[in-house]
Chain A
Amino acid sequence: EAQVTQNPRYLITVTGKKLTVTCSQNMNHEYMSWYRQDPGLGLRQIYYSMNVEVTDKGDVPEGYKVSRKEKRNFPLILESPSPNQTSLYFCASSPRQERSYNSPLHFGNGTRLTVT
């Protein structure tokens, strides 16, 4: 089954304890992206990757890191989580994402992160 898989679904952690949220897609998509969803703010892009070894900042990259060493995986790393990073996180992928070729985003099931 074609899908985007995020883990874990729920995570409660404490301030400063490094964590990684994994994202994997089995559709051979070039484009992958991370969003955070907060009430009243919609989906805000954290980082995105147009292809392997290519990553770029989105609108809210502070406090996050990503890597794209393989096409299928795009982990989100919080080196020193803080309470303001408590949010619902979504990973998404699509075949390509550029002005001349737009394709729908396929979202993962989300990761609800709480930082105390």
Chain B
Amino acid sequence: GENVEQHPSTLSVQEGDSAVIKCTYSDSASNYFPWYKQELGKRPQLIIDIRSNVGEKKDQRIAVTLNKTAKHFSLHITETQPEDSAVYFCASMEYGNKLVFGAGTILRVKS
């Protein structure tokens, strides 16, 4: 089955700097890659997603890039703010219609 590896496990950045979280997947047939944000004590919520026929997608300060050849995708957050502090999960949908999540990245934005 699909295996999703996420790095780094923790990331500290200064407010205003950029943050990058990377994920790799194993199933070359995977075609859908969402990113979820989970604030402390709350539920995960979708922040951006990308499909395999697209290389990059942006939504204001957030962008996701996908490299199908290398089987990796990344989340980019620019001009980070304290409210960006949270746990971020990447995920990949494998052939069997199952969404497999990475282990998560704790992002801390220091003001």
Interfacial residues, chain A to chain B (CB-CB below 8 A): 33, 35, 40-45, 48, 50, 58-59, 90, 97-99, 102, 104-105, 107-110
Chain A residue nearest in CB terms to B31: A99
Chain A contact residues: helix, strand, loop or mixed:
strand
* B37-61 interface code vs A (CB 8 A; 1 in, 0 out): 0000011111001010000000000
B84-111 interface mask toward A, CB cutoff 8 Å, 1 = contact, 0 = none?
0000010001010111111110000000
Distance A107 CA – B89 CA, assembled complex (angstroms): 14
Chain B residues with Cβ below 8 Å from A33 are 99
Do A107 and B43 touch across chains, with their CB atoms under 8 A apart? yes
Known A-B contacts A42-B6, A99-B93, A99-B95; the reply to A90 vs B43 at CB < 8 A is: yes
Instruction: Provide the bound-state CA to CA distance between A90 and B9, in Å.
Output: 21
18 of the cross-chain contacts (CB-CB < 8 Å) are A42-B6, A42-B101, A42-B102, A45-B98, A45-B100, A58-B98, A59-B98, A90-B43, A97-B93, A97-B97, A98-B97, A99-B93, A102-B32, A102-B49, A104-B34, A105-B36, A107-B43, A109-B42
Residues in A with CB closer than 8 Å to B98 are: 45, 48, 58-59
Contact across chains for B103 and A42 when beta carbons are under 8 A apart: yes
Q: Tally of A-B residue pairs with Cβ under 8 A?
A: 58
Total interface residues in chain B, CB < 8 Å: 25
Q: List 18 extra interface pairs beyond A59-B100, A105-B34, CB under 8 A.
A: A40-B103, A41-B103, A42-B104, A43-B44, A44-B101, A45-B98, A45-B100, A48-B98, A50-B97, A59-B98, A90-B44, A97-B97, A98-B97, A102-B93, A105-B44, A105-B99, A108-B43, A109-B42
B108 to chain A, nearest CB (A): 16
Complex CA distance for A59 and B100, rounded to whole angstroms: 9
